Amino acid sequence: MEGNIEGLSSAIALVGYGLAAIGPGIGIGIVAGNAITAMARQPEMQGTIRTTMFLGIAFTEALALIGFVLFFIA
């Protein structure tokens, strides 16, 4: 019985990680897509845009990573 509950909680944690990955996935797509548009429009600003893109991705990604860590804690 205890094994079942443990298995259930890790299964729920797995679903939770999947849910936590949805938002950041969409967010990183938007960030990268808009960065590509901006680079295509103004290639001379490429360096700044790339730095800002990595920043945006890093902030967005943090949510997915917290979900990932929670999966191991649970």
Partner 1 sequence: MTQVILAAEVCDTANEVICAPANVNDLFVHEVWFTIGGLEVTRFTFLCFLAAAIVVALLFFGLKDRRIVPTKFGVMVEGLVSFVRDGIARDVIGPEGGKYVPYLLSVFLFVLVGNLFEVTPFINFPITARMAIPLFLALVTYFIFMIVGFGRNRFQYLIATAWPKHVPIGLRWLVGLIELVSVFFLRPFTLAVRLFANMVAGHLMLTLLLGSGVIFIAAIGDLGARALIGIPWLALGIFIFGFEIVVSVLQAYIFTLLSAVYIESSIHFEH
Summarize as ranges the residues that interact with partner 1 (CB under 8 A): 47-48, 51, 54-55, 58, 61-62, 65-66, 68-69, 72
Nearest distance in Å: CB 52, partner 1: 10
Nearest distance in Å: CB 72, partner 1: 7
Measured CA to CA in angstroms, residue 69 lies from 14, 17, 47, 62 at distances of: 11, 9, 32, 10
CA end-to-end span of the chain, whole Å? 18
Nearest distance in Å: CB 66, partner 1: 6
The smaller minimum CB distance to partner 1, of residues 22 and 55, is found at: 55
Q: Amino acid letter at 14?
A: L
